[in-house]
């Protein structure tokens, strides 16, 4: 599988340049293999990119701007969806790749909620145990006091 990043090597927009650098820099940092396809100097790349971005993902003017990201011929997304995946620590899923061993995915809100419920349950169980231990300790102390009172009465 080849990740394809469609870029414009001679874009006049600093915003587009920054977005392109962000995508490429992040892929490099994760050591993900990818191919950069220039749409500024290669008309075939430009046409392929424009034809393969799904209609519902194109901007209102119909012309998608770089960077656009594909896994082979499967559309992954544009910079905004890439950024969201990066923030959610789900870039591998976004790219349609398997996470490498040891990669720690950030839990989703739903997973965090479930984890919190498990922790609450464990915390409640601990509280129950502590409460039972306190009751047993209190019973022992009462028995000792009773025993001392009985011994004192026996001495009198």
Q: How far apart are CA 53 and CA 19, in angstroms?
A: 18
Indicate the range of 1-5, 124-128, 152-156 predicted with least confidence: 124-128
Instruction: Render pLDDT for 28-63 as a digit per residue (tens, 0 to 9).
Output: 999 999 999 999 999 999 999 999 999 999 988 889
Reference 30, options 96, 87, 81, 99; nearest CA is 99
Rounded to an integer, the average pLDDT of 108-125 is 62
Q: How far apart are CA 106 and CA 109, in angstroms?
A: 9
Query: Is the confidence at residue 71, as pLDDT, over 90?
Result: yes
Count of CB atoms within 10 A of residue 107's CB? 13
Structure token digits, residue 117: 């419920």
Instruction: Render pLDDT for 82-99 as a digit per residue (tens, 0 to 9).
Output: 999 999 999 999 999 998
Rounded to an integer, the average pLDDT of 148-153 is 74
Query: Is the confidence at residue 108, as pLDDT, over 60?
Result: no
Structure token digits, residue 72: 């082979």
Exposed (0-12), middle (13-18) or buried (19+): which is 95, by Cβ within 10 Å? Answer: buried
CA 7 to chain centre: 26
Rounded to an integer, the average pLDDT of 109-116 is 63
What is the side-by-side order of every strand in the sheet holding 68-71? 34-38, 3-7, 68-71, 74-78
Helices 79-87 and 14-29 cross at an angle (nearest 10°) of 40
């Amino acid at each position: 599988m080849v990740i394809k990043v469609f870029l414009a090597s001679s874009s006049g927009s600093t915003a587009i340049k920054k977005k392109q650098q962000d995508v490429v820099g992040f892929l490099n940092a994760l050591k993900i293999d990818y191919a950069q396809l220039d749409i500024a100097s290669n008309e075939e790349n430009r046409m392929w990119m424009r034809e393969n971005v799904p209609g519902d993902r194109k901007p209102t003017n119909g012309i998608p701007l770089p960077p656009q990201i594909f896994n082979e011929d499967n559309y992954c997304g544009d910079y905004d969806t890439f950024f969201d995946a990066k923030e959610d620590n789900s870039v591998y899923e976004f790219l349609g790749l398997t996470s490498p061993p040891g990669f720690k995915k950030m839990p989703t809100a739903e997973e965090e909620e479930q984890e919190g419920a498990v922790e609450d349950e464990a915390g409640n169980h601990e509280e129950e145990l502590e409460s039972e231990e306190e009751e047993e300790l209190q019973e022992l102390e009462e028995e000792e006091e009773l025993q001392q009172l009985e011994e004192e009465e026996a001495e009198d």
